[in-house]
Amino acid sequence: MNFEGTAVAMITPFTSDDKVDEEGYRENINFLIENGVDGLLAAGTTGESATITHEEQKALVDILVDEVDGRVTTIAGAGSNSTKEALDLVQYAENSGADFALVITPYYNKPQAHGLIEHYKTINNNSDIPIIVYNVPSRTGTDIDVETIANVAELDNIVAIKEANPDLDKTSKIQKILLENNLEDKFAILSGNDDLTVPMMSLGAKGVISVIANVDPIRTTQMVNNALDGSYEKAMDLHYELYDLMKVLFIESNPVPTKEALNMLNRPAGNVRLPLASLSDKNRNLVEKTLKSLDLL
């Protein structure tokens, strides 16, 4: 089993008293499905996994699986800097009926390459759900190197990497190793950076786990589908149409600008949890201007 297309790294909406907004979460799920996305990710880093509790994280996965009801692919955020905690979350995702678990490289403790292999091997050997590795060195302090990715890709249940290292040469190196080892049908590269989705797909990536699709799922999905079809001129046109949105949604720490954009669009979002704080007035004006330029507001 593998994934291609547009998955949304969903925000976690909160109520005014800082509880998970289940009704709003279900509303967002249906909005995104109705606007053509291929998959939804619960409790990833865009979903504020660092500040939600494990109980909330598991509840979000349950809500996602229940509300989606087989209509699109479901991906459960299930990473931790503790292998035991990550395995517990992966096993919960499997038991909940999620299609995939997204497992970030352990953060802060900066494991060695052989430690990363053992981390993913332990999860692989103690679960059956397909695993997507998430590499985001700007957040974790660890960049899983190409050789380590090649080793991890051999594991039965490790089926993809969400690659958020902006080095496109690395994408080429991963794809070259996959081709040389006949793993291109077993293991997929997915973009973890919206602004690099089209370039990465031209090098062999199969889609994106997207932040901007929270705000503009229609054009994001069209961009990815055109790239999958080999219509790169159309994909490039949409890339540049969305480019300002790709940049402004990261003008402050993710998901602060995205939540502000959704609040402007009267879609469930609410606050971010501390230590993240509200968007500055200056940047709020830039987000508003960008939404207007795309006729979203």
Q: Which residues contact 157 (CB under 8 A, 6 or more apart)?
A: 123, 124, 127, 128, 129, 130, 131
CA-based torsion, 162, 123, 2, 220: positive or negative: negative
The answer to whether residues 206 and 184 touch, using CB atoms and an 8 Å cutoff, is: no
The amino acid occupying position 185 is D
Return phi, psi of residue 49, to 5°.
Answer: -60, -25
What residues are annotated to the active site?
Answer: 134, 162
Q: How far apart are CA 224 and CA 69, in angstroms?
A: 24
Q: How far apart are CA 272 and CA 12, in angstroms?
A: 9
List alpha helices for 100-253, DSSP H: 113-125, 137-140, 146-153, 168-180, 197-202, 217-228, 232-248
Q: How far apart are CA 67 and CA 72, in angstroms?
A: 10
In the beta sheet, which residues pair with residue 8? 40, 210
Q: How far apart are CA 188 and CA 4, in angstroms?
A: 8
